[in-house]
Structure 1
Amino acid sequence: MTDKLAVIAIGGNSLIADKQHQSIPDQYQAAKDTCEHIADMIEQGWTVAIGHGNGPQVGFVLRRSEIAHRVEGLHEVPLDVCGADTQGATGYSLQQNLYNEFVKRGINKPVATIVTQTEVDRADPAFKNPTKPIGGFMDADEAQSRRENDSWDVVEDAGRGWRRVVPSPLPKRVVEEPAIHNLMEAGMCVITVGGGGIPVVADDKGQLEGIAAVIDKDYASALLASSLGAELLIISTAVEKVALSFGKPEQRWLDTMTVAEAKGYLAEGTHFAKGSMAPKIQACINFLEQGGKRAIITNPANISRALRGETGTSITN
């Protein structure tokens, strides 16, 4: 495997620019813009695996499924299958845009999407405390029916109605990692661990089964990067750099951090939001503690500049 091996985890802003641009053509254009920046990196000699979020896309599939079930009586789509659907659709958009960008630049590099399963532990504490809301809103009667008939965990959401919640367990293993490794060894660009991967659990014989859960895509990308022996993890998000006390008068942008500093900032509990920046920082720590050399957090447009040390937040040991 090449020394210049990187895993890039791209966030929702790389696929949906804003609430006014959520259509499939809009998502395709957002993916095109992001792929141009990734192609810059590949042109510099990096071999890249690309992970991506899928939260809004899964929400759209679930909502269509719920409406079709109520109106037409069609079968509903299980959450793990929603993950597979969106991995394929988003992967198609990314791989076609990368292919076209490579053709334009004269880069001879195949691109492939792998529908990826990520194994989680059935005993993970997250299964006892589901917190991730999915799907549309329900009234109290429907929520009670779902709880009793479908074994859903449901919660009331700030007076807006009831929603289903599912666990968010930690990833243990990227099941298709050997295939990803072989494809990258052959010089391919691979799109993988979409939405953190489809959550699966293993029985006592090692056979896998899909489970209703959501895996953090940054944790899964960091795990994949460690498994591949990648040198670099890039987490592409909505901001150019990480900030301490983000959005507060004392906000301070960070150019660099050590793992020890990152752990200290996390422990303080006031700098990084739990649902956004905190898991990204923790994913970088996980990667570096497992042998990675460097992690970068920046936005898509600044990937090349961040690689040169001109912007972004770089985290090292």
Structure 2
Amino acid sequence: MRTVVALGGNALVSGGEGSVAEMRDHLARVAPELGTLAARGHDLVVTHGNGPQVGSLLAEQEAADTASRPLDVLVAETQAQIGTLVVRALNDELDARAVSVVTHAVVHPDDEAFADPSKPVGPYLDAETAAAADYPTREVETEHGTVHRRVVASPKPRELLESAQVAALVDDGTPVVCGGGGGVPVTRSESTEGVEAVVDKDYTAELLARGTDADTLLMVTDVPYAYRNYNTPDEEPLRDVGAEPMREYLDAGEFEAGSMRPKVDACLDFLDAGGERAIITTIDDAAAAVDGDAGTRMS
């Protein structure tokens, strides 16, 4: 069996600042669940979010009088930062030695996302700072009131440059950590160029699942299920669901953009491409969900 595990940013930090100590604490919970899957014969490919970590680097740049680094370079930095922590945690649990691969996601320069940047990144800004910024910003409602944040494009990945190398490692029995933060966003023409964008890691996880012939795509987030009527008195957890009714829920707007929606959409893309099953759950329920006893399970 082969399983791609997508660890959401909230699964690694749960609303915190994404410090190394915090990630280590969360990985102490993550690694045993992944170790259980490996012991049951699952070849593992692990990807992860990086939102809080990229946000911290952007905040440091805002505060420091130093030359700023472009967003694609910051994504590469956080891939290495988080990747080394995940690898160490996995190596303490698995017989095989895991490796981390900095991964590049090719996006199309004409993707419609570039015309409407909508992905919030970086620190909260006051109105004056936002007005003076040399990048696009938007108002964001938080529990502390209205703030401003930088927004960037979030195009869909078309290809992962390291897919063949990742597949070869997995075929050799090596657990691989890759595609972090959706991958380093690049375009390809006469040369490979980084772009100011953030690729949604859920779609990158789906590309990894297809590229490595995975049986299962496991989305780990901070809620135990995908829900209908989420956060209402009629909230209903979705457990065993066929692809067609799940697509109907998606088209009806049941899932929030930028949160559950891309996870469900990526899961359905995986099933449409021939994947066996896709699962959404929390890290504590990961092994149980694979067994059919927890989470939202799509087939």
TM-score, normalized by length of structure 1?
0.89
In structure 2, the residue matched to 1:287 is 270
The answer to whether the 8 A contact 1:32-1:98 is kept is: no
Which residue type is aligned with residue 202 of structure 1? R
* Counterpart among 290, 294, 297 of residue 307 in structure 1: 290
* Counterpart among 14, 17, 38 of residue 14 in structure 2: 17
Structure 1 segment 170-189 matched on structure 2, within 5 A: 170-189=156-175
In structure 1, the residue matched to 2:69 is 77
Tell me how far apart the structure 2 counterparts of residues 95 and 238 of structure 1 sit (CA, whole Å). 21
In structure 2, the residue matched to 1:5 is 2
Structure 1 segment 1-317 matched on structure 2, within 5 A: 4-19=1-16, 22-69=18-65, 74-102=66-94, 107=95, 109-138=96-125, 142-147=129-134, 152-157=135-140, 160=146, 162-203=148-189, 205=190, 207-269=191-253, 271-316=254-299
Deviation at 1:168, TM superposition (A): 0.6
Deviation at 1:79, TM superposition (A): 0.9
After superposition, the C-alpha distances for 1:258-300 in whole angstroms (9 at most, x for unaligned) are 111111001111x211121111110100111111111111111
In structure 1, list runs of 5 or more residues that go unmatched.
none
The answer to whether the 8 A contact 1:297-1:314 is kept is: yes
Q: Compared with structure 1, are the counterparts of its residues 261 and 163 closer, same or farther at alpha carbon in structure 2 (3 Å cutoff)?
A: same
Deviation at 1:119, TM superposition (A): 0.4
Tell me how far apart the structure 2 counterparts of residues 141 and 248 of structure 1 sit (CA, whole Å). 36
Tell me how far apart the structure 2 counterparts of residues 142 and 18 of structure 1 sit (CA, whole Å). 24
The answer to whether the 8 A contact 1:121-1:172 is kept is: yes
The answer to whether the 8 A contact 1:174-1:223 is kept is: yes
Tell me how far apart the structure 1 counterparts of residues 14 and 124 of structure 2 sit (CA, whole Å). 24
TM-score, normalized by length of structure 2?
0.94
Tell me how far apart the structure 2 counterparts of residues 144 and 233 of structure 1 sit (CA, whole Å). 42
Deviation at 1:312, TM superposition (A): 1.2
Identity of aligned residues (%): 34
Query: What secondary structure sits across from 1:15 in the alignment?
Result: helix
The answer to whether the 8 A contact 1:83-1:197 is kept is: yes
Deviation at 1:36, TM superposition (A): 1.2
Tell me how far apart the structure 1 counterparts of residues 2 and 99 of structure 2 sit (CA, whole Å). 16
Aligned length in residues: 296
Q: Compared with structure 1, are the counterparts of its residues 130 and 18 closer, same or farther at alpha carbon in structure 2 (3 Å cutoff)?
A: closer
Q: Compared with structure 1, are the counterparts of its residues 156 and 281 closer, same or farther at alpha carbon in structure 2 (3 Å cutoff)?
A: closer
The answer to whether the 8 A contact 1:306-1:312 is kept is: yes
The answer to whether the 8 A contact 1:229-1:291 is kept is: no
